[in-house]
């Protein structure tokens, strides 16, 4: 039992760091820009370079784990992630820092698919496994939510490099521990789908690039449109190729299972809405309400507390009642909390909207675990690496798409409202753009440009920004509410299956090989 607990600890710590680095850097961006002389575009790539590489390569990480051994790929990924963290902490230029973030993304893409698979091999009893997945998923979700809580004080007292240095000793210890306590799972003799790798990596990379650049360049910018169209063509080619291969990197026949489709949709949409919330909320707290970075980080603690409570609870609920009740309830609570944020404006007090953080945190915690439970229940052991990689890819893409789409809604609404407000103040129309950049560029209310605005202009910016946030979170809440209904239908229609039926055998693979 002690070995199982150490294995769970190792897997949880690695996933915590991988999820943490999605968001922890955000609070450090102003200091990075100042010390490394970086503009808005450079800072954007510091924040999103990690997500781009991670989303583009995580499916390949799952395939490599199947071929070369999941434990080996997990240890290699954790080592690369740790090395990338040290490289980022030592970076003296913005280019080196972006490259280091991409190395971190490669490491995360290698370690995350094998994490869930290894968990399933360590905990073979279904109830025990569900509880372990609850802890693992809760810790992963906490990594996303505590980034500002950890990053704010570190940047304030130790400098921006500290948000990367904290990964190094933990990563080194994790590599040593993983080599000792994680099981050796025999690799599966299969060919690497290099064609699928190239098409999926290039397609996802270009798609994420278009989503990242769209809000700043404009959705009609030729580069954005071109990357988006090429990405769609490459991804379509990837799907056609996977349908033709005997041993594809992504087994598309798994998506005939309505429960698996519902679980994947749930994971995607929770990230869509919650990444948007985690992006907007610090801007609201720091820019409009005047909180410090550390204060804004600490303000998210109720959400973190609910994740800690709901993660293990959802594992027990999924083990007893199946993944459908906690998954649907979690989606509904996320929709309620996100929509509730739109009730509070620029004069809101923290106790007034505290309930929204509690509800969103609890909903998030309820949702993450059942997604993983549904995946392990509905696929054969030999395919858990690929399925886990698919879950993580869709979660990451959901977050990127959520920030891009909801951010575009916010920006468009804010610009429209600000144009009208400035017109009433007699400000020339050509000044709207530079003034509108204050909340979304340098950090609303935190930069010198924002501080230099006269009071009437700052009030106009605050009002337009809050109005944009309200529309964005309402759209996110509506999307989550619709998803809750769809997931309830998909999982309600799913027939019970036994593990031997979890996945149809590939033509080139004997059915008996799936027990390996």
| Greatest mean pLDDT range, 112-121, 190-199, 341-350, 354-363 | 354-363
Smallest CA-to-CA distance from 95 within 153, 150, 143, 36 is with 36
- Please tell me which residue, 164 or 38, carries the higher pLDDT value: 164
| 149 close to 308: Cβ distance less than 8 angstroms | no
30 vs 438: CA distance, rounded Å: 13
Asked whether residue 238 carries a pLDDT value surpassing 60, the answer given is: yes
CB 279 within 8 A of CB 407: yes
Using pLDDT thresholds of 50, 70 and 90, give the confidence band for residue 359: very high
- Are the C-beta atoms of 323 and 371 separated by less than 8 Å? yes
Which candidate, 379, 370, 391, 266, places its Cα nearest to that of 322?
370
Distance CA 110, CA 116 (A): 12
Lowest-pLDDT choice from 7-16, 93-102, 192-201, 287-296: 287-296
**CATH homologous superfamily for the domain 256-495:** MFS general substrate transporter like domains (1.20.1250.20)
Q: What CA–CA distance (Å, rounded) separates 394 from 245?
A: 22
C-beta separation of 122 from 7 below 8 A: yes
Mean per-residue pLDDT, 156-162: 85
What's the Rg (C-alpha) of the chain?
22
Question: Residue 498 — pLDDT band, cuts 50, 70, 90?
Answer: very low
**Are 257 and 494 within 8 A, CB to CB?**
yes
| pLDDT tens-digit series, residues 59-109 | 777 777 777 777 888 889 999 999 999 999 999 898 899 999 999 989 988
Instruction: Give, rounded to a whole angstrom, the gap between the first and last alpha carbons of the chain.
Output: 23
Comparing 454 with 514, which gets the higher pLDDT?
454
Summarize the confidence of residues 402-408 as an average pLDDT.
Answer: 77
293, 420 contact by CB (below 8 A): no
Q: Which range has highest mean pLDDT (160-174, 222-236, 261-275, 447-461)?
A: 222-236
Angle between helices 455-493 and 324-340 (to 10 degrees): 160
CA 10 vs. chain centroid, Å, equals: 20
**Model's pTM, two decimal places?**
0.73
Q: Does domain 1-192 have CATH number 1.20.1250.20?
A: yes
329-334 mean pLDDT = 94
What pLDDT, on the 0 to 100 scale, is given for residue 318? 81
Residue 476 neighbours by CB under 8 Å, 6+ apart:
272, 273, 276, 277, 338, 402, 406
Q: According to the model, what pLDDT value does residue 432 have?
A: 55
Q: How far is CA 447 from CA 146, 215, 345, 372, 450, in A?
A: 24, 20, 21, 41, 5
Output the 3-class SS for 130-163: HHHHHHHHHHHHHHHHCHHHHHHHHHHHHCCCHH
Task: Find which of 282-286, 344-348, 416-420, 475-479 is predicted with most confidence, using mean pLDDT.
Answer: 475-479
- Kindly report the average pLDDT of the chain as a whole number: 77
- 8 A C-beta contact, residue 88 and residue 97: yes
What pLDDT does 231 receive? 92
CA distances from 100 to 20, 47, 204, 206, 302 (A): 16, 11, 20, 20, 32
Torsion from C-alpha of 434, 216, 402, 47, nearest 10 degrees: -100
Which residues in 49-73 are b (16+ Cβ under 10 Å) and which e?
bbbbbbbbbbbbbbbbbbbebbbbb
Per-residue confidence band for 493, with pLDDT thresholds at 50, 70 and 90: low
Q: pLDDT tens digits for 175-234?
A: 888 888 787 777 766 667 778 878 887 887 788 778 767 766 777 889 989 999 999 999
Residue partners of 82: CB distance under 8 A and separation at least 6: 107, 167, 168, 171, 172, 174, 175
- Each residue's pLDDT tens digit, 305-322: 887 788 778 878 887 888
Residue 429: pLDDT over 70: no
Residue 430's pLDDT band (boundaries 50, 70, 90)?
A: low
Minimum mean pLDDT range among 155-159, 248-252, 391-395: 248-252
Range with lowest mean pLDDT among 108-122, 248-262, 498-512 = 498-512
**C-alpha angle with apex 393: 387 to 395, nearest 5 degrees?**
105
- For 290: left if phi > 0, alpha if psi spans -120 to 50, otherwise beta; the answer is left
């Amino acid at each position: 039992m002690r070995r199982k607990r150490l294995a769970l600890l190792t897997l949880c710590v690695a996933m915590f760091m991988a999820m943490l680095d999605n968001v922890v850097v955000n609070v450090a961006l102003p200091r990075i820009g100042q010390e490394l002389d970086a503009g808005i575009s450079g800072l954007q790539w510091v924040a999103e370079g990690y997500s781009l590489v991670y989303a583009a390569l995580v499916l390949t990480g799952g395939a490599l784990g199947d071929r070369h051994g999941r434990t080996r790929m997990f240890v290699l990924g954790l080592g690369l992630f740790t090395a990338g963290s040290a490289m980022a902490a030592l970076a003296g230029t913005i280019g080196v820092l972006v490259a280091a973030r991409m190395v971190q993304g490669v490491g995360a893409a290698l370690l995350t698919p094998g994490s869930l698979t290894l968990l399933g091999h360590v905990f073979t009893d279904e109830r025990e496994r569900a509880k372990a997945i609850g802890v693992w998923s809760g810790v992963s979700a906490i990594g996303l939510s505590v980034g500002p809580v950890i990053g704010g004080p570190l940047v304030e007292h130790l400098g921006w490099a500290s948000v990367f240095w904290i990964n190094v000793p933990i990563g080194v210890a994790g590599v040593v521990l993983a080599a000792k306590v994680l099981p050796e799972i025999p690799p599966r003799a299969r060919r690497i789908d290099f064609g699928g790798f190239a098409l999926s990596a290039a397609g996802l990379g270009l798609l994420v690039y278009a989503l990242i650049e769209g809000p700043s360049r404009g959705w009609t910018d030729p580069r954005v449109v071109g990357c988006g169209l090429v990405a769609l063509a490459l991804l379509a080619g990837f799907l056609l190729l996977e349908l033709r291969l005997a041993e594809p990197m992504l087994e598309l026949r798994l998506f005939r299972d309505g429960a698996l489709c519902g679980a994947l949709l749930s994971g995607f949409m929770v990230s869509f809405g919650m990444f948007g919330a985690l992006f907007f909320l610090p801007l609201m707290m720091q820019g409009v309400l005047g909180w410090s970075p550390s204060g804004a980080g600490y303000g998210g603690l109720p959400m973190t507390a609910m994740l800690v409570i709901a993660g293990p609870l959802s594992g027990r609920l999924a083990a007893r009642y199946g993944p459908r009740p906690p998954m649907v309830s979690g989606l509904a609570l996320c929709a309620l909390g996100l929509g509730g944020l739109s009730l509070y404006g620029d004069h809101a007090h923290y106790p007034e909207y505290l309930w929204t953080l509690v509800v969103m945190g609890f909903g998030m915690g309820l949702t993450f675990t059942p997604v993983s439970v549904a995946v392990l229940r509905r696929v054969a052991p030999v395919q858990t690496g690929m399925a886990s990689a698919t879950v993580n890819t869709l979660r990451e893409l959901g977050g990127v798409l959520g920030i891009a789409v909801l951010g575009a809604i916010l920006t468009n609404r804010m610009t429209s409202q600000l144009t009208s407000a400035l017109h009433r103040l007699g400000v020339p129309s050509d000044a709207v753009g530079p003034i509108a950049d204050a909340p979304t560029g340098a950090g609303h209310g935190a930069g010198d440009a924002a501080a230099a605005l006269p009071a009437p202009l700052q009030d106009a910016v605050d009002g337009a920004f809050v109005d944009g946030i309200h529309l964005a979170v309402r759209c996110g809440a509506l999307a989550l509410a619709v998803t809750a209904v769809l997931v309830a239908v998909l999982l309600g229609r799913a027939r019970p299956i036994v593990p031997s039926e979890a996945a149809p055998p590939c033509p080139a693979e004997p059915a008996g090989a799936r027990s390996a």
